[in-house]
Amino acid sequence: MVRIMKFDLFFNYLLKERNYSKNTIKNYEIDLNRYKEYLNTNNINYLKIKYTDILNYISYLKHNHKSTSINRNISSIRTYYNFLVRENIIKTNPFNLVKGMKKEQKLPNYFKYNEYVDILNSIDTNTNLGIRNRCIFELLLCTGCRVNELVNIKLKSIDLENNEIKVLGKGNKERIVYIASYAKDALKKYLSIRNELLQNKNNDYLFLNHLGNPITTRGIRDVIDKILLKSATNLKITPHTFRHSFATMLLNEGCDLKSVQELLGHVSLSTTSIYTHVSNEELKRVYLHTNPRN
């Protein structure tokens, strides 16, 4: 007989004791309901799950899911079984025996400097929004900020004298990013017209939309999409592409990996190391293009 899985207590535990967001809990719900459906279809008791059952479930997931999705699914189930152990419903967690699948190594998308300049030159800076848009582009590439870090920059966080901006990254960790000369010029020009965009409203966020409210991450993406259309480029660029390009350009110019890690705000050096693969690809391209015997 198959035991009926009930998740209400588990979800309440995630919400009240683990302080998980509702969106995160929704993902757990999706993963666990998929698992529950599989067990019911195969007449498997979730309290008596065997190692071979788990391997069969992973094989089942491989038909329609990538490794990252499978790893998240297994992690959700493992957390659920840890909860069952905590509640003394089972003695051991069978999913502790299972390792995650190896992630697919996907090289990050990035653009080259000359491509960036071409796009930048297509921005009409004869309008206040055009001045703002150029500043957005300059700061995204100059600082390597995540888009949510960019939209949350406040005026008090900017130190033009020392060419620094304080940003709030993942896990509410503050870090300092630096402003090069082109970005500083664009920032000064934008600050000189910011009050016109503000429309007598009261907020201290750096970037504003056309209504004088703080611009959103969605708004930044819309700005980028519209500028790409005008530039007639075939490049596919998102706000995160600027971050990838920032890291790649620094490494190609000889910056050490540890410094790039600090500038990006990565906790682990292994997260930053993917950019060395991009840099090596560029090195390979240059070699094949310039070698007279190729």
- The one catalytic residue in 132, 146, 194, 244 is 146
Give the tens place of pLDDT for each residue, 129-162: 999 999 999 999 999 999 999 999 999 999 999 9
Cα–Cα distance measured from residue 215 to residue 202, given in angstroms and rounded to the nearest whole number: 14
Which residues are within 8 A (CB) of 210 and not within 5 positions of it... i.e. 6 or more apart?
129, 197
**Residue 1: band (very low, low, confident or very high) from pLDDT cuts 50, 70, 90:** very low
Identify the residue whose tokens are 């299972």.
98
Give the tens place of pLDDT for each residue, 88-126: 999 999 999 888 766 656 667 888 899 999 999 999 999
Cα 141 to chain center, whole Å? 15
3-state class of 83 per DSSP? helix
Considering the chain, what is the average pLDDT of its residues? 89
Domains of the chain are 8-97 (1.10.150.130), 113-290 (1.10.443.10)
Q: In what order do the strands lie in the sheet with 174-178?
A: 158-159, 164-168, 174-178
% of the chain with per-residue pLDDT over 90:
63
- The one catalytic residue in 132, 134, 194, 243 is 243
Which residues are within 8 A (CB) of 246 and not within 5 positions of it... i.e. 6 or more apart?
140, 141, 142, 143, 144, 263, 264
Residue 112 among the catalytic residues = no
- The one catalytic residue in 66, 78, 240, 277 is 240
- Inter-helix orientation angle 113-121/128-143, to 10°: 170
Residue 132 among the catalytic residues = no
Query: What is the predicted pLDDT for the residue at 99?
Result: 80
Query: What is the predicted pLDDT for the residue at 2?
Result: 44
In terms of pLDDT, which residue wins out, 161 or 64? 161
Residue 63 among the catalytic residues = no
Residue 146 among the catalytic residues = yes
Query: What is the predicted pLDDT for the residue at 280?
Result: 67
Instruction: Look at residue 283 and tell me whether its pLDDT is greater than 80.
Output: no
Which residues are within 8 A (CB) of 115 and not within 5 positions of it... i.e. 6 or more apart?
233, 235
- The one catalytic residue in 26, 48, 50, 170 is 170
- The one catalytic residue in 65, 154, 266, 277 is 266
In terms of pLDDT, which residue wins out, 45 or 292? 45
User: What is the pLDDT averaged over residues 155-183?
Assistant: 92
**Residue 279: band (very low, low, confident or very high) from pLDDT cuts 50, 70, 90:** low
Cα–Cα distance measured from residue 146 to residue 261, given in angstroms and rounded to the nearest whole number: 14
Residue 240 among the catalytic residues = yes
Residue 244 among the catalytic residues = no
